[in-house]
Structure formats: structure tokens, C-alpha cells
Structure 1
Amino acid sequence: MTHQSQQEKPTTKEEEKAKQNLTLKKKGGISTLSAPKHWHNHPTLASQNNSRILNQTNDKISSVQFNPAFRSSRKENPFSCFALDASRESMPPLVVVGSANADIYVEIDRLPKEGETISAKTGQTLAGGKGANQAVCGGKLAYPTYFLGQVGDDAHGKLITEALEGGGVFLDYLSRLDDVPSGHAVVMLQAGGQNSIIIVGGANMACWPETLPEEDLEVVKYAGIVLLQREIPDSVNIQVAKVARNAHVPVILDAGGVDAPIPIELLSFVDILSPNETELARLTNMPTETFEQISQAVKKCYKMGVKQVLVKLGDKGSVLFTEGAEPIKQPIISASKVIDTTGAGDTFTASFAVALVEGKSRKECLRFAAAAASLCIQVKGAIPSMPDRKSVLDLLHSL
């Protein structure tokens, strides 16, 4: 991807049309269906605004925004600031670095006991993976979103690619690997929408370069915000997070994925750690059954180097903890029905990130994310359940 500096001469209409007619190709032969939207590299402006997000300790974002169209509204309708028709072409993008899976769904009444075979009511394969989920969520919320990840040169890889493209995600940094299968997961969906998941890493965990190419890291440097998860090697996340920190780009790390301690080096480059209560308990070796226990576990995260912790509590809502400030609690926005909770956490995290990079207050970010998650759990599948911006706004306006 070529980044245009402020000093370069603007392209003519003819040149622009020629660029859009080019097929964009990346290392493994993946191509996007259309040329990416333009976003302008203003390193000084991006650095100033990202630094403000990094240094913020209360519940309000700085009044200096990436785009005047997204300044927090003081009008009677608190969500009018989430405009549907405002241009986002000059906004620094959301960059998601992470996993992409084919999710194999089986709908069952209960989990099988040891040595037992049971029959599933239904079964189907849908695109998923925490990274792909979060990227599609950003795309469906009409925010410019890039995905950096790996898939295999197989049917599952094609399924994942088509789902990402269908969600409006730019795939300039998606690689296709030969002789390595795409990652996949078996999702056992039980009555009431609860699920148990088994992940096979595949291309998500294999053959990453020891040092990421500079062209891949370039999009990170000029991002508005970066999302990471733990379904790819920690070494990749560390490289990306370090580059983002040096460029004053905020990093949110979703704690879901590998069942192993998070490297302290990675945590040192993370601005917001986002675990659910189970992940928080595992990472801190502390109980998280009550709010007081969760608060104590979060204090341990502070000692690990993270200053903000966004805890997802399922049907109990969410809490954003910031060291030195009062926690901000967000209850769930009730859903009329619960079909499938798969992807709800990814929807919440990505929606929060989109609202944050657009300059919303912490409270607005949490409420926007809660509305998106509420819509997500009413549809089966991870990527198919990601809501668009209009649906989220309609729900918020109806409350």
C-alpha cells in the first residue's frame, strides 16, 4: 500500500480511476474486490490525537478529534454524534491484526459425556475467528478497517476471504499460505445460546515471518487504533504493539485465545486490556465472582503494566477500569431473544474501539458497544451476526 504524504501532488481524476482499476494483490495472491478508500496520512495530527487517547484517565476523550464530524454532541439526542452519512475517508483506520477461522457449528442439547456420542440437531460452517470477527464488525459499522492475518489456500480460506470482503474489510494485508490449512473451530452451540469452542490454529499460528515486513507495519503506524487478540503468536502481537506504541497509536488487546500467561513485554505496549471475567481470573489467578473480586484482579493487571482494563461480564454487562479513576459500569441492553452468544465479545470490543477512535466519551463507547453486542446475540454465527451502524443507532434511539 502506498501512503501519500501531504507534500505530494493530488492525483488527477484519470490517475485515480486508473488506480481503482488495478487489482490489489498481496503476498499470497489474495486480492480485494475493489480499491481501498483513501485515508490521509497526517502523522502529526494522528500522533497528537492518539497521544490524547493514551494519556486519558477520565471518562471523556479529548475535544480534539480525528474528524470534526465526530465531536461529541451536546444535543438532546446523545447518539446523534454517531452519524450515518459523515465521510470517514480522512479518518485513520481501524487495524485488526489477528486470527481468521472457519467455524464449524453443531447445535446440541448438551455437551457429550466422556466416551459418549450424541447427535447434533444441525451443523454448518461459517467464517469466524476473533480477528476476522472484530474486523468485520468495524467494517459493518462503516469505519475504514484493515485486517492483517493469514489463511490457507483451501476452501475454508476462500470462505473467510469472501466473508471479510462482504463485511467491507480491506484485505491488502491478508496472506494466503500454501500447504497450511486455514484455522478452524468447532462451536458446540447449546440451548439458550451458550457455547463451547475448540480451536485449531492452522494458518493463524504457522509460518509467520520472524520479522514482519515493513509494508505490513506501515498501516499500523498510521492507524487510528489497533486491535489484537491471542489466537496468533505472541511474537507477532509484540511486534505490532511495539510499533503502534512508538507511533502513539492506541492498542486494545482482547485476552481471548491461547490459554497461557500474557508476556509482560506485550502488556507493556497495551493501552487497554479486554478480558472477560473467566480470562481475568485465569490471567491473575484470582477469583472474579463478585465486583469486589474483579476490582482486586484488575489491580493486579495494573501492576503488570496495563492502565486500563475493559472487563466483559456477559449478562452482567461490562466495566471499564482506569487506574486512578472510578470504574464505569455498563449494564447489558436486553435482547428480545438470545440465539447465539458466539462473537458477542468480539462485537463489543470492536464497537468500543470504533466509538473510541471516533472521539466518543468512555460512557458513550460502552453504551454503543452494549447495543452492538445485544444485536449480535440475536443471530446465529459470529460474522453473520455483526450489526451495521444503522441497526445499532436504531436500537439506541429506541431506548
Structure 2
Amino acid sequence: MYGIGGKGGIDVYDVACVGILVADAIAKTVDKLPERGKLQLVDQLDLYTGGCAVNAGIAMARIGLNVAIIGKIGNDGFGKFMYSVLKEEKVDVSGLVIKPGSSTSASMVLVDSSGERSFLHCLGANAEFTDTDVDFKIIEKSKIVFIAGTMLMPSFDGGPCARVLKKSKELGKFTALDTAWDSRGRWMKVLEPCMKYTDLFMPSYEEAVQLSGREDPEEIADVFLSMGVKIAVIKLGKDGCFIKDSGGQKYKVPTYEDIKPVDTTGAGDSFAAGFLTGISRGWSLYECGKFANAVGTHCVMAVGASTGIKSMKEILDFMARYE
């Protein structure tokens, strides 16, 4: 059991999400790009909140956790949109740094007919976020510190991230880390300083292969565990997840195969939200994996990273129907 106790008093956060905030303009359905200089119609074009910290934070708040978010946005239209939605979703925004003159990070998300998505991304204010922007008064009042979106915060990745994790561990916090795809190919050079301060590491299979140089999920997990991670979770998409901890416990947890994905945007972040919910509630690793798969499944059943996320009771009822 890796639980850290139940929900505390009103001033205690279950999770502090530290990381990227992104406004997502999602276009659906895009199976091919328009010819150069030409116009192409799409069925739908909508604006949603996105970014790993936001997606996971909103998902956990909807499930019923007390969540704070720490990151940086611009004082622009996208930033005001993000701020207002987070407040509506009951995520504490006191840790957000609003930087005049900076543009809020944004993505153009192209969703094809299978539900798979491709991105055009502007780093914006996420590129300026660093460890000195982190409000440790919030960290001190949080049970779990979740770094969400490593590889997309060039002023935070590597040493600054490791410093935040190290200080969080010194404060007695449970630490978790998720990563994004590294288009610059740095991979383990960025993450290595962070691993020994990380209790829970949750990369996707594709990211994990790049980081470890291995292809078998258990061999991948062993690489991360050898670097000091306490629990390695490999997200396997439609195949569920593989979990292994430093004590040798290991599980392959299947997911819900008969669900047709509508949009996979935010699925990995929703999975992370589900797993962290289990950790915060003291569940076994297998129970954490089952719940994480169910939350990820709800995510892909609707367009947008958070649209499909339901309450704890609704997700548990969904799981019970598949028992």
C-alpha cells in the first residue's frame, strides 16, 4: 500500500499540480492537411483547456480531490480563459503566475477519424516557468506534488525540476512525475537528475522506450527503478498499463477494450489523475491501475481533455458494470 492518508482539513490539498497550462483549439475531423494555400473545412473547432497540469488537475477536482495548480500564463485572452475555467472547476489558482507581455501557451490539435491527435504547439509562458515561480507555501500544504509536462518547460526541466522534487521530498511529500514527448531528443539527459527524488513515474510506452532504450514494459520499469524511482507505471494505451515497484510487486492491468475512442486528447493526463487519486486514498497499486484505466477511458469518450471526466461514484459504477 502506498497511501498517504485521506483528505485533510480545508487548508490541505490532496495534490499540487506543477507544470504546463495550454489552451487547446481542437479541430475535428482532420484526416489530411489542406493543400498549400488552400482552405479545408472541418466538422468542429472548439477551444478547451489543456496542458498536463490542467488536464490532471481538473480531472482530480471532478473526481473529488482538493487540487491546487502551479504554473505560468500570460495576461491575454487564452490566459483569462484558462484562469476562469480552473476556478469554475474548483481548482485552486493561487499558485498561478500571470506574466504581462507573455503569451499563454497554446496548441492546435488535429483529431483524425480514429480519435488520434496531432499537435501544433507554442510554448509561450510555459517556456519561462522555473523553480523560483513555485509557491512552496502551497507545496507545504499538499500531500502529493505532481510534476506534469516535463520536456515542455525549458527553464524548468532538468536541474530546476530536480530542486523542486528534492525540496518536496524534504518536506515529506509524495512526489510524482509525468513527461511529454521530447521533440528535441534530450530525453534522459533532462530526467536523470529528477529520478532519485521521484516516488511515482508515469510515462507513456512511447516515451518510456525513448527514455530507457528498452521495449519490454518490465525491462523499461526496471531501468527507472534502478535510477531511484519507487513506482514505475508504463501507460500502454488500449492495452492498459504495467506497474512495478521497488519491492518487486508487478501488475499488468487491462483496460476497457470495447470502448471506441472519440478523442484521445488528455488520456494520459486523465490516467495519471486516476492513479494519483488511488494513491491519495491509500489503494493498492492494482486498484490504482484499474481506476486510472477507467478515468482514462472516460476521457477518450468525449472531445476535449476533461469533458468526459465524471465523479468518483460514476467512475466506480462504470467499473462495477465491467466486473
TM over 0.5: yes
Equivalent residues of 1:220, 1:243 under 8 A apart = no
Q: Determine which of 229, 241, 246 is the counterpart of 2:165.
A: 241
Aligned residue pairs: how many?
312
What letter is aligned with 2:26? Answer: Y
Question: Quick one: distance in 2 between partners of 1:107 and 1:319?
Answer: 31
Q: After TM superposition, which residue ranges in structure 1, 4 or more long, deviate above 6 angstroms?
A: none
Question: Quick one: distance in 1 between partners of 2:35 and 2:192?
Answer: 37
Match of 2:62 in 1: 140
Match of 2:224 in 1: 301
Q: Determine which of 341, 345, 350 is the counterpart of 2:264.
A: 341
Equivalent residues of 1:96, 1:131 under 8 A apart = yes
Residue 192 of structure 2 corresponds to residue 264 of structure 1: yes
Match of 2:113 in 1: 191
Match of 1:161 in 2: 83
Q: The residue matched to 1:306 in structure 2 has which SS?
A: coil
Question: Quick one: distance in 2 between partners of 1:126 and 1:111?
Answer: 22
Q: Determine which of 53, 74, 85 is the counterpart of 1:152.
A: 74
Greater fraction strand: 2
What letter is aligned with 1:246? Answer: E
Residue 33 of structure 2 corresponds to residue 112 of structure 1: yes
Q: The residue matched to 2:61 in structure 1 has which SS?
A: helix
Match of 2:48 in 1: 126
Question: Quick one: distance in 1 between partners of 2:298 and 2:258?
Answer: 7
Q: The residue matched to 1:350 in structure 2 has which SS?
A: helix
Equivalent residues of 1:107, 1:120 under 8 A apart = no
Alignment of 1:1-399 (within 5 A): 60-61=1-2, 66-67=5-6, 89=10, 92-112=13-33, 119-121=40-42, 122-206=44-128, 208=129, 211-212=132-133, 216-229=135-148, 230=150, 231-232=152-153, 233-234=156-157, 235-259=159-183, 260-261=186-187, 262-286=190-214, 288=215, 293-334=216-257, 336-399=259-322
Q: The residue matched to 1:384 in structure 2 has which SS?
A: coil
Shift of 1:247: 1.5
Equivalent residues of 1:376, 1:387 under 8 A apart = no
Question: Quick one: distance in 2 between partners of 1:88 and 1:338?
Answer: 38
Equivalent residues of 1:221, 1:243 under 8 A apart = no
Shift of 1:390: 2.7
Question: Quick one: distance in 1 between partners of 2:130 and 2:273?
Answer: 26
Deviation larger for 245-254 or 218-227: 218-227
Q: Determine what percentage of the aligned residue pairs are the same residue.
A: 22
CA deviation digits over 1:122-142, x for unaligned, max 9?
222211111111111111111
- Compared CA separation, residues 236 and 158, structure 1 to 2 (3 A): farther
Equivalent residues of 1:108, 1:190 under 8 A apart = yes
Shift of 1:116: 8.4
Q: The residue matched to 2:132 in structure 1 has which SS?
A: coil
What letter is aligned with 1:248? Answer: G
What letter is aligned with 2:207? Answer: E
Q: The residue matched to 1:224 in structure 2 has which SS?
A: strand
Shift of 1:374: 1.2
Question: Quick one: distance in 2 between partners of 1:225 and 1:379?
Answer: 28
Shift of 1:222: 3.1
Larger radius of gyration: 1
Shift of 1:386: 2.7
Shift of 1:168: 1.3
CA deviation digits over 1:212-259, x for unaligned, max 9?
46xx11221332111112132214422321111111211111022544
Shift of 1:263: 3.2
Listed as ranges, the gaps of 5+ residues in structure 1 are 1-59, 71-86
Match of 1:42 in 2: none
Equivalent residues of 1:334, 1:374 under 8 A apart = no
Equivalent residues of 1:66, 1:91 under 8 A apart = no
Structure 1 length-normalised TM: 0.73
Question: Quick one: distance in 1 between partners of 2:105 and 2:164?
Answer: 21
What letter is aligned with 1:268? Answer: K
Q: The residue matched to 1:191 in structure 2 has which SS?
A: coil
Q: The residue matched to 1:148 in structure 2 has which SS?
A: strand
Q: The residue matched to 2:114 in structure 1 has which SS?
A: helix
Shift of 1:204: 1.0
CA deviation digits over 1:334-383, x for unaligned, max 9?
45432111111100101110111111111111111111111111110113
What letter is aligned with 1:317? Answer: G
CA deviation digits over 1:129-174, x for unaligned, max 9?
1111111111111111000011111110111112211221011111
Listed as ranges, the gaps of 5+ residues in structure 2 are none
